[in-house]
A and B are shown apart, each in its own frame.
Chain A
Amino acid sequence: MGTVSNNKENNNMNSGREGIRGWLNPTRYGWERVSYWLQRLTGLFLLVYFVGHVYETSSLTNGVDAWNSMLELTQTIGGHIFLILVIGTSTFHTVNGIRLIFTESGKGLGKPGRPDYPYNPSSLNYTQKSGIWIALLLACIAMLYGGMVLFGEGG
């Protein structure tokens, strides 16, 4: 096309792409965008946890003392908070992930039809939004319960 050829071509403003900054802000386009953002964030968090978890449990091969000193890490306040986050993220990621397996295979989004003003897109329907809310709610409940067990008596 050659409509935009000049030497500033490669700066981000001219390419206009939002880049990672566009991803970082999930507040602009409704709940589905929040779901997308959280699914990725929780997925990456769980990945980090999973690597750490394998490292933690493998300490058992260095004898029972190494294992016990690892366990002590999770008995600190920071360790408790980290575990509560693991409980919350894994609950959200699993529940919302099961929802996404269906929606991303075209299930539960409704059928195409004749669009009429004001055009409510059927893929953004309330059943699916409720799925996101339920995943969030269950994550909160799980974190509360986890918090009670971890910080409660004998914790």
Chain B
Amino acid sequence: MSNEENKKVQLKVYRTNYNKDDSSHYDKFEVPVKRWTTVLDALLHVKSYSDSSVGIRYSCRMASCGSCGMKINGKPSLACYTKISELKDDVIVCEPLPNFPRIRDLVSDFSQFFSHHKNMKPFIQNDKVSVDIDDKSDLVEFEQTHEDVDKYLQFSYCIRCGLCYSACPTVATDPKFPGPQALSQAYRYEADGRDNSKKTRFNIIDERHGIWRCHFAGSCSVVCPKGVDPALGIQLLKGHMLGLSKNNKKISTLRTKNNE
């Protein structure tokens, strides 16, 4: 125990500022670590006691907001979800996420990644249900069984952290490719019984830079911190689009106040 108390590691942090004429380099910091210290804890320690100008982005510190993604010892990871003791290394290298434009230090620009997500129309569309409701008594709800929910639940756990996007070898060369996050969200709504608009999303992803550029390298599922398994969603979606696997989707029944 006492041995553990005084352990120190070296944190190598990628530094650059694209708004200044600043060439990129690494700054080294010594940080004390405990068994439970995360990479984010270590970076915050650096900001408090060594160099407050290190640029990082974070919020929840508990793998929920998806903002602290970075490359840690070569692998896209969440800083708040990566314990230094698990890395089994005395040097921890923090770099910005690959495949994202860089802003400053470890902070990258997510606008293109988010726009791919938005392109998938990531919300429930159902032409049987009116969106504009004036009278509360017209509100309806969908009935779904637990089995119906299990078909898409894991994909809905995505926190849009972008780790999958930075691990994908197709994204690395093709900015127009939607990437694993967006494509697995297309599957998430395709598998959701409350949504009945599959053709619109099929048309969006069935194009030259679309879903067929995925060759199942599986790296997205290796790095995903939430168990989304985007590669699974994408391959299942391909099967549906090819007509090779049945889509057993039952559109959920509507429950209104009147027919209860």
Contact = CB atoms under 8 A, between A and B. Distances in A.
20 contacts: A1-B109, A14-B101, A19-B172, A29-B219, A32-B231, A36-B215, A39-B215, A103-B216, A104-B214, A106-B236, A106-B240, A112-B155, A112-B191, A112-B233, A112-B236, A115-B229, A117-B227, A121-B229, A123-B216, A124-B222
Interface stretch (A20-28, A69-77, A86-94, A138-146): A20-28
Given A14-B101, A122-B232, 10 more contacts: A17-B175, A18-B172, A19-B173, A33-B219, A36-B217, A37-B217, A107-B245, A112-B150, A115-B157, A124-B221
A109 B236 contact: yes
A153 interface: no
The 8 closest A-B pairs by CB, nearest first: A106-B239, A115-B227, A32-B218, A119-B227, A36-B217, A22-B172, A29-B219, A123-B232
B150 A103 contact: no
Given A105-B244, A105-B245, A115-B157, A121 B232 contact: yes
A16 B102 contact: yes
B154 interface: yes
Main secondary structure of the interface of B (DSSP, over half): loop
B157 to A, nearest CB: 6
A113 interface: yes
Interface residues of B, number: 58
Interface in B210-252: 214-219, 221-229, 231-233, 235-240, 242, 244-245
A16 B99 CA distance: 5
Contact of A3 (B111, B150, B216): B111
Contacts of B221: 121, 123-124
B83 to A, nearest CB: 13
Given A19-B172, A22-B98, A123-B218, A6 B232 contact: no
A123 B218 CA distance: 8
Interface of A: 1, 3-4, 6, 8, 13-20, 22-23, 28-30, 32-33, 35-37, 39-40, 100, 103-107, 109-110, 112-117, 119, 121-124
The winner among A6, A100, A119 for most chain B CB atoms within 10 A is A119
Contacts of A103: 216, 235
Contacts of A33: 169, 217-219, 222
A117 to B, nearest CB: 8
Interface of B: 16, 18-19, 24, 74-75, 96-103, 108-109, 111, 150-155, 157, 167, 169, 171-173, 175, 191, 214-219, 221-229, 231-233, 235-240, 242, 244-245
A117 B81 CA distance: 13
B216 A15 contact: no
Contacts of B16: 13
Contacts of B108: 16
Contacts of B231: 32, 109, 121, 123-124
Contacts of A123: 216, 218, 221, 229, 231-232, 235
Contact of A109 (B150, B152, B228, B232): B232
